[in-house]
């Protein structure tokens, strides 16, 4: 009770669920470590204790990004403790941590996108045994769209949304049927921090979503399926992040993370001349600085094209 971590967890409940989970996990891990050193609560921790803890993570070969995130978690926790009067002063003020090495997001080549979004029949048949199959209770459903299975229709729609609208995986999985307007080509998305935004989609994307919704989804629906969920997995439950990862693994000819589709969406828009603030709005970034990383990606691509095509380069 002295650490009041449950109260801290409630205080950050407005953040994304994944963020809340890692922040609380970081704080619990620190509290266990500090307790072994004799600290009974946050009031027993000063800045030196926090620095020693971060140093211990480095000694245990934690990634720089993990240490930087842990420092952010501790700053958030001790700021909350200071507001609650659990500590006399905030020991995490000006707490530094090794900055994570910045890596430019990977952008998919057009050939890779074609394999993901428009797989040929031969390749699809070759992956038949690895396919996420429809459960027995749903085998009686109609298989439409040139004889393709419902999971194919679902995968088409999910991948089109990831690239065509730049959705995060969590946003895709959280979509409900009512969030999609295929006539107006818009989506209502619940982003990080429970922030709602309107996202556009192109006609081909809308057609894929409509085909899945009207033809594929009824065939994969079971008695346990949530009535509101747009996407379902092979058990008829709401599609989850791991399911999305498996979809990408099946479709991609090279190892690819689902987030690479979002990176490619942003970079291709900027390459095509889109305004940075428009891309920021579409991605749902609260800060323009977060979006600016994609300008570096575009510059790298432009330099590569220049070096490979200019006769004097």
Show which residues are catalytic: 168, 192, 259, 262, 285, 294
**DSSP codes, the chain:** --S-HHHHHHHTTTS-HHHHHHHHHHHHHHHHHHHHTT--SGGG--HHHHHHHHHHHHHTT--HHHHHHHHHHHHHHHHHHHHHTSSSS-TTTT---PPPPP-PPP---HHHHHHHHS--HHHHHHTGGGS-PPPGGGTTS---TTT--HHHHHHHHHHHHHHHS---HHHHHT-BGGGEETTTTEEEEE-GGG-EEEEE--HHHHHHHHHIIIIIHHHH--TTS-SSBS-B-TTSSBP-HHHHHHHHHHH-SS---THHHHHHHHHHHHHTT--HHHHHHHHT-SSHHHHTHHHHHHHHHHHHHHHHH-TT-
Which residue carries 């990977």 as its tokens? 106
Rounded CA-CA distance 205/126 in Å is 25
Q: How far apart are CA 88 and CA 16, in angstroms?
A: 30
- With contact defined as beta carbons under 8 Å apart, do 163 and 199 qualify? no
Residues 6+ apart with CB under 8 A from 56: 33
For the chain, the residue count is 313
Q: From residue 237, how far is each of 13, 152, 187, 217 by CA, in Å?
A: 25, 17, 21, 11
């Amino acid at each position: 009770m002295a650490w009041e971590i449950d109260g801290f967890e409630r205080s950050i409940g407005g953040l994304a669920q994944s963020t809340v989970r890692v922040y609380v996990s970081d704080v619990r891990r620190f509290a266990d470590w500090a307790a072994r050193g004799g600290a009974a609560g946050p009031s027993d921790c000063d800045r030196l204790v926090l620095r020693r803890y971060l140093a211990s993570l480095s000694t245990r070969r934690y990634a720089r990004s993990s240490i930087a995130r842990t420092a952010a978690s501790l700053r958030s926790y001790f700021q909350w403790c200071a507001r609650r009067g659990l500590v006399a002063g905030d020991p995490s003020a000006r707490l530094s941590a090794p900055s994570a090495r910045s890596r430019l997001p990977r952008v998919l080549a057009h050939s890779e996108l074609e394999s993901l979004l428009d797989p040929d029949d031969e390749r699809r048949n070759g992956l038949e045994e690895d396919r996420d199959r429809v459960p027995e209770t749903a085998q009686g459903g109609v298989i439409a769209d040139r004889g393709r299975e419902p999971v194919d229709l679902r995968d088409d729609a999910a991948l089109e949304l990831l690239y065509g609208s730049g959705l995060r995986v969590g946003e895709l999985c959280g979509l409900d049927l009512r969030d999609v307007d295929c006539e107006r080509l818009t989506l209502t998305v619940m982003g990080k921090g429970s922030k709602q935004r309107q996202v556009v989609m192109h006609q081909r994307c809308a057609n894929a979503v409509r085909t899945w919704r009207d033809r594929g989804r009824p065939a994969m629906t079971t008695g346990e399926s949530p009535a509101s969920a747009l996407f379902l997995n092979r058990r008829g439950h709401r599609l989850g992040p791991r399911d999305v990862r498996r979809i990408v693994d099946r479709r991609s000819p090279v190892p690819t993370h689902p987030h690479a589709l979002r990176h490619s969406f942003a970079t291709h828009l900027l390459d095509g001349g889109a305004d940075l603030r428009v891309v920021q709005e579409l991605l749902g970034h609260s800060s323009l600085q977060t979006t600016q990383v994609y300008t570096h990606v575009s510059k790298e691509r432009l330099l590569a094209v220049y070096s490979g095509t200019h006769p004097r380069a």
